[in-house]
Structure 1
Amino acid sequence: MSLQCSEHCPKQETGSFDNELSKLFHAAYEQYQSEVLKDGKLYERYVNDLVSYHLPIVSGDMEIIRKHFRNVFCMYELLINRKDLVNKYFTRHVFEECDFNEMLYAFNHIEYVNTKPEVLALFNRNQIQAITQFANSSKIFIGNIEEKTIDMFFRCQIDHGLVVANMAGVLPLLYELSRQKMIPYNWVSLIAENKMLIPQKTMVASTRKAISQRLSELKKSRFDFPGTVYIRLVKQLKEMQ
């Protein structure tokens, strides 16, 4: 048995999680909740730290060593290749034995077709109201924006791009939404392809390259990027889910 797992994987009552693989997944869930959801740790760093911590093992039994490595790499493969399952199960308030069994069954038996998201987000009414109020009070766009417009923006169904007073006002928000997994990883491409942001300075829809370059500039110029205001707003939005 791994020293890591025997000492640090949570001990369950009444026989729940009584095998190493389920204990590993439960530990992964707890760490995901703590590090990714609460502290905003990068997902890739979370996975690498988790696996490197649980990988070492001290045993003279080769069969135990083989099973341990098989379990650790099963967990690693799921975390890397099936983020849909991670988002479905690890964001729940509790992670029980039935959740582990369903997650593992889906991983082993159900083929996953990875398709790129076609929308930024489907926010609820309260979230749309909060974003709209923030955008208007911060004067991110030229003129006041209606809630319906913000909703259609995140659905990527807007008829005309929004004219942005300053990209430094909207990009930190989108970046933090992405960092907190509230909009997809390809958000820059979605915005560029749908021509949804038009800087007032150029009045030309921003390309993927232009957005990426401006984002890099902002990250270098601000030590606390994206900034406490945006972090606080996105945290509130997550609480509204």
Structure 2
Amino acid sequence: MTDLQTRAREALGTVIDPELDEPITDLGFVRSLEVDGSTVTVHLRLPTSFCSPNFAYLMASDAKDALAPLAEQVTVMLDDHHDSELINRGLAADAGYVGTFGHEAETSLDELRLTFRRKAHTAAMERVLTQMLRRNKDLPEEDLHDVTLGDLPDEKSSRALLRRREALGLSTEPSAPVLVDDHGNPYPREEVPFRLRFARSIRISMDGNAHWCRGLLRTRYPGSEADQAPRSNDVKEKAS
């Protein structure tokens, strides 16, 4: 593998599937990566041909943006999707999301990205707080109101939460409360149990979708399991 191939693969590892909140390289969505001199060509694939076009475009556009600083020419192609021709034409022309889909684009790409960043933050917030509850069996849920970023252990889930807060422009100061709304405002103490349950539903939905999509990809593309990284289950559901 050449140096450019290595750097291109690393760059693709920073591209996050907007709905599943996992790197597209871990999910196996990178079908191929080819380097010819200073030209990089990438083919992407998805679990089904009918995955939402806005998700597909966001992923492919982010992949092209991640690779752009590395090569003189970057081509990103989405394979086997019902809107492949439209998306690939828009990517090649750098037409943007609205320019690609025209009147069918209900929201801008920035609005779409913000929606998924907020969901990812909510799920990350729930993970660290649920871990804290399981480590401190006598801790009332309402007391999570007082937990700050500085109270969190230095581990993967805590660092992931900080990255998601930073992406939203929320405070990452140690004194900042952990359980906050989309704008960084803490919830009232009496709302903590309800807010935690709501956040858990979002996290479980995202984890379930990721598991389902991985399975669909393996069914659609036999052998693609070799391209998927094992999932690290930071929070495991209690057996009922």
Question: When you count strand as a share of all residues, which structure comes out higher?
Answer: 2
Larger radius of gyration: 1
TM (norm. structure 1) is 0.30
